[in-house]
């Protein structure tokens, strides 16, 4: 049996972020739109565990993610919770078969002749193929109030409730209702602009930084004392290398990330959580120097992202939030025993010395067997404790 837990979940996360001793590594599922679980897989997990499937809420309607419930947090000893307000008006959507989810009433998916679910918003459109697990096309994620101040008031109330009424840590992502933060990269389009219109790109980033600092100031003033993390997000890597030369990231992205991180650190105790997929090891030193505190999802299946090397080179300078289970090659298709072995192997690399929050690499997809999810999370908890 593991030792008795002595810290609250929030204390455990804060101490991990500050590299202080903890009783065990924190465990996350669903506190972020890239640490979560498909609503389809979540439905199957709850059914497998004999829990109700009647009120599964989808806070992310593009990736079709589930809001993780308290009974699941208790069952798997989770330490974090999602800071997304409930949709102002909800409706029930039955995409197929037994599955039924609570979605924003404005979503109104329409089934076409090809069996695809289609969502339209003005001239924008996204679709879920027949039998699919998420939408593609335009990214239509904002279905609440569009006014930033009203939106931030919603987040403030949610963050305060989490802080005062739960033991969990939380992260401002600002996803569902808009108002999040990028990492001054902008994907392939941004890479091209770094070479074709560098001066205009720098001017655009300067304007964006002013907007971000104003928004971050409002967040800090209104509910900064209630959140532990703030997300910035930009995927900078492909499966085998960064999307562009590291020198371009250093020149165009890092100065703006640094000024943003400096502002947040100077005015609050909030840590900066960077979501950045892909093979990005050459970029990590620049991101650390810019002030990034936490790296997610730690895509260990990408080239040049070998866990032991990441831990050896950067483990004392950045928190790894993810990398605890291979979601590309193991979690969907292996046996539960093989999933457990994968978790034990990865935890044995990332956990020593602290600085690690357990999470699988990115979200759990819709077709992952529930037995494998149970094996992953139960093994994570069994392996989580540090010596007394």
pLDDT tens, residue by residue, 89-114: 899 999 999 999 999 999 999 999 99
User: Measured between alpha carbons, how far is residue 65 from residues 25, 241, 243, 371 in Å?
Assistant: 24, 28, 27, 19
pLDDT of residue 178: 64
- Collect all residues with Cβ–Cβ distance below 8 Å to 89 and sequence separation of at least 6: 104, 105, 106
pLDDT tens, residue by residue, 239-263: 999 999 999 999 999 999 999 999 9
DSSP state of 2: P
Reported as a pLDDT band with limits 50, 70 and 90, residue 141 is confident
Which one, of 123, 31, 113, lies nearest residue 79 by Cα? 31
78-358-66-337 Cα dihedral, nearest 10 degrees: -100
Element (H, E) at 132: none
For the chain, strand residue ranges (E) read 80-82, 90-96, 99-104, 110-111, 117-121, 124-128, 136-137, 169-172, 229-233, 271-275, 294-296, 319-321, 356-357
pLDDT of residue 342: 98
Reported as a pLDDT band with limits 50, 70 and 90, residue 2 is low
pLDDT tens, residue by residue, 18-67: 999 999 999 999 999 999 999 999 999 999 999 999 999 999 999 999 99
pLDDT of residue 5: 72
List of domains in the chain: 9-98+144-382 (3.20.20.210), 108-142 (no CATH)
Q: What percent of the chain has pLDDT over 70?
A: 97
User: Using alpha carbons only, how large is the chain's radius of gyration in Å?
Assistant: 20
User: SS3 for 8?
Assistant: coil
Reported as a pLDDT band with limits 50, 70 and 90, residue 1 is very low
- Evaluate the CA torsion angle 39, 172, 271, 318 in order and state its sign: positive
Tell me what the mean pLDDT of segment 310-336 comes to.
97
């Amino acid at each position: 049996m593991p030792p008795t837990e002595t810290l609250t979940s929030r204390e455990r996360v804060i101490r991990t972020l500050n590299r202080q001793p903890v009783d065990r590594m924190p465990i996350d599922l669903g506190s972020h739109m890239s640490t979560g679980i498909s609503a389809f897989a979540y439905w199957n997990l709850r059914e497998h565990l004999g829990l109700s499937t009647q009120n599964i809420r989808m806070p992310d309607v593009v990736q079709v993610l589930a809001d993780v419930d308290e009974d699941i947090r208790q069952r798997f000893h989770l330490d974090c919770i999602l800071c997304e307000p409930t949709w102002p008006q909800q409706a029930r959507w039955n995409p197929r078969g037994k599955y039924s989810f609570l979605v924003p009433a404005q979503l109104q998916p329409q089934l076409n002749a090809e069996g695809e679910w289609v969502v339209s918003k003005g001239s924008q459109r996204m679709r879920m193929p027949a039998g699919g697990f998420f939408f593609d096309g335009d990214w239509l994620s904002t279905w609440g109030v569009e006014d930033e101040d009203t939106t931030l008031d919603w987040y403030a109330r949610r963050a305060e409730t989490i802080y005062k009424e739960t033991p969990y840590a939380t992260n401002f992502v600002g996803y569902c209702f808009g108002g999040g933060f990028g990492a001054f990269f902008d994907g392939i389009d941004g890479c091209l602009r770094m070479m074709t219109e560098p001066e205009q790109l720098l001017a655009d980033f300067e304007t964006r930084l002013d907007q971000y600092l104003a928004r971050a100031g409002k967040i800090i003033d209104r509910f900064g004392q209630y959140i532990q993390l703030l997300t910035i997000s930009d995927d900078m890597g492909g499966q085998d290398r960064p999307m562009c030369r590291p020198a371009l990231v250093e020149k165009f992205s890092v100065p703006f990330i640094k000024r943003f991180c400096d502002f947040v650190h100077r005015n609050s105790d909030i840590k900066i959580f960077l979501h950045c997929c892909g093979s990005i090891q050459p970029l990590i030193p620049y991101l650390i120097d810019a002030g990034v505190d936490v790296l997610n999802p730690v895509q260990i299946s990408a080239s040049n992202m070998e866990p032991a090397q990441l831990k050896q080179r950067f483990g004392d300078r950045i928190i790894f939030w993810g990398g605890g289970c291979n979601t590309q090659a193991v979690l969907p298709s292996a046996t539960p025993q093989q999933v457990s072995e994968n978790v034990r192997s990865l935890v044995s690399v990332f956990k020593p010395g602290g600085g690690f929050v357990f999470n699988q690499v990115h979200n759990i997809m819709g077709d992952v067997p529930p037995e494998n999810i149970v094996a992953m999370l139960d093994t994570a908890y069994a392996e989580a404790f540090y010596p007394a």
